[in-house]
Structure 1
């Protein structure tokens, strides 16, 4: 059954503030929860953080006191939502365990979006980032075994493979080569707008997470790896945010943000296996329906347009967390050797790429390579978890070549 949030009314705004008891959610049990429940929590936290940051930026560029007041009212509720969602994460999990879950989100969320994306150029952008997040998961899994002596399998639970993707040292590119061509807001499929917002928000939250937790480690190799991958997440945020049409008005962006939140809460509610978490998704969906209506009214009043002109007439098929092993392997086989040049992709290293690599590697090997060296010295092997033989025989040869 199709679901059109423009035709639904949620909880009135003046009834959405929750007290401390209501916000005191019980955290997930990391040993017994569905790994994809944890992924949905991490993803929705990133979506809520983006909503809050966007609202703050909008308020800083707005001179209308009535609009600023409405943004503040909704932003307070969004902040409560973000706390309720993020506080579902178990406090007993280490930072590295949460990190591996973040990378599982990056892999399976980006893979699903790439599979569902109707625009070939945008699909390519998601496939490109997918192979890099896949390798980040592999590097952090090796770090996890190296310093905590545990295996990432206990976190990803066989749903996501742990093995090399595009080697992390090759992710460092000249900043100008991280910019992509934006979609055309007047012609693009509404689903493409939702995809771009979703992946941008998820990568932004990962960037923020790494830049804050990285220096809390004592082990030098951990601090260095978080620093390196944190810089790559900066590249990824640039990569994904540049896909959004910069000509969208503030009102369009506000409506798109709220519609996307409705889409994701509805998607996650439809597939959630944990009854308590499912109830939270349903509650937040009913809050977001009213946020969307408030945003739509602001757009009508200030932009002179009907939101239905830019939004899908009904929510797309639910965004689903599910295994993407075969799809990821296919993308590895076809696109492992890509890098970027301007707003496009090439298979050969070029002058700007080589200059960036030389500048970064002047002080020695990248931390992501050093993790592999230390793991090899400690265990005589790398850590990976996959089903059967890898279908890309050249992967190990390429890997050795890149790490000489």
Structure 2
């Protein structure tokens, strides 16, 4: 690949604001579209939300009114992009159907990034987290069949398996043990920075979604399951955000955000099968190229450095949504019993972990276990969808 966003010119900023007719996108048809189209939509919504939140935080930490105004102008366009992207989701989908799609994103996005990650420590962080998202997909799939009497297969379409991962009850750790060691901004591969920002943005989006949608259900088990998994997502955001070097300046972070948006829009444009969605990815890419140029100018002015010092010279291989079944089965066979201790990983339960488990569960089965119990009472089985035969390790992890 030879696409270098630093050498490309995008749409001038004063031509990027769209009227209502342009923002009124037609949502995708969940029954006719590639499930990975929906995954790309969900991913880019998370990326745009992170871009908006980061811009607000930067604006709150600068005294320069000119910078504040410039950030506000770009941020308004980012907000329009977020609306156009997120409004692609079909209104006919229930909250739980969207939840299952969110977890499909978490599983296949994080798996692909783990496979491509050059840093062994960062790769382990993604491998650890993905086995927990994998189990969340399984728990929600059982809830979906109980409440809506439909199977998650209709959503994931055989691309992502549905079966137990690391049991959700084991995800509750002492907060100290959710903090990882950061990468070194001066030594790490630029691709690693993009990976960390992408997974952080996706998990942050999921955390926010569960915090706000969980109490909208009437069924007690649904409300309780969203509450439990919502707490795990908070752990995941802590886990991933701590990987980022806190020594990165605001301007380094800004150019990384804008470069990552170019990378992802380009990646998704290259693989998108839906013509109208592909056109939106291309439009937003051309907007982001200008946002990146503006960010680079701010970095030169306020950091006194060239963006080439921190960014990749050209885009890496396109980030791809694809099945990761064999990879996940290997992780299930080798890492399902891991937990964290300090910034590392261990196989044995330790005092802090056991104390946290006791404080939360207090001898009771958590919602993530009870949803499986209730499903078995209703159907005489749990719900799982394994496309390549039963796994020797994960046959009974509920």
Q: CA deviation at 1:380?
A: 0.3
Q: Who is 1:164 aligned against? A: 164
Aligned 8 A contact 2:139 2:371 in 1: yes
Q: CA deviation at 1:235?
A: 0.1
Q: CA deviation at 1:363?
A: 6.6
Q: Distance in 2 between matches of 1:363 and 1:350?
A: 18
1:80-124 deviations in Å (ceiling 9; x for gaps): 000000000000000000000000000000000000000000000
Q: Distance in 2 between matches of 1:126 and 1:169?
A: 19
Q: Who is 1:395 aligned against? A: 394
Aligned 8 A contact 2:106 2:130 in 1: yes
Q: Who is 2:102 aligned against? A: 102
Q: Who is 1:205 aligned against? A: 205
2:158 paired with 1:155: no
Q: Who is 2:7 aligned against? A: 7
Q: Who is 1:35 aligned against? A: 35
2:353 paired with 1:353: yes
Q: CA deviation at 1:390?
A: 2.7
Q: Who is 1:366 aligned against? A: 366
TM-score (norm: length of structure 1): 0.98
Q: CA deviation at 1:180?
A: 0.3
Aligned 8 A contact 2:263 2:315 in 1: yes
Q: Who is 1:286 aligned against? A: 286
2:118 paired with 1:118: yes
Q: Who is 2:240 aligned against? A: 240
Q: Distance in 1 between matches of 2:208 and 2:367?
A: 19
Q: CA deviation at 1:274?
A: 0.3
Aligned 8 A contact 2:332 2:393 in 1: no
2:330 paired with 1:330: yes
Q: Distance in 2 between matches of 1:76 and 1:365?
A: 46
SS across alignment from 1:395 = coil
Q: Who is 2:85 aligned against? A: 85
1:251-283 deviations in Å (ceiling 9; x for gaps): 000000000000000000000000000000000
Q: Distance in 2 between matches of 1:209 and 1:395?
A: 28
Q: Distance in 1 between matches of 2:139 and 2:11?
A: 44
Q: Distance in 1 between matches of 2:393 and 2:223?
A: 32
The Cα RMSD (Å) is 0.8
Unaligned runs of 5+ in 1: none
SS across alignment from 1:122 = helix
SS across alignment from 2:51 = helix
Q: CA deviation at 1:360?
A: 0.3
Aligned 8 A contact 2:163 2:394 in 1: no
1:134-170 deviations in Å (ceiling 9; x for gaps): 0000000000001110000000000000000000000
For 1:16-35, what aligned pairs fall within 5 Å after superposition? 16-35=16-35
Q: Distance in 1 between matches of 2:308 and 2:298?
A: 13
Q: Who is 1:76 aligned against? A: 76
2:321 paired with 1:321: yes
Q: Distance in 2 between matches of 1:66 and 1:316?
A: 34
SS across alignment from 1:396 = coil
Q: CA deviation at 1:319?
A: 0.1
Q: CA deviation at 1:365?
A: 1.3
Q: Distance in 1 between matches of 2:209 and 2:321?
A: 21
Q: Distance in 2 between matches of 1:196 and 1:224?
A: 30
Q: Distance in 1 between matches of 2:393 and 2:308?
A: 49
SS across alignment from 1:211 = helix
Q: CA deviation at 1:389?
A: 2.3
Q: Who is 1:381 aligned against? A: 381
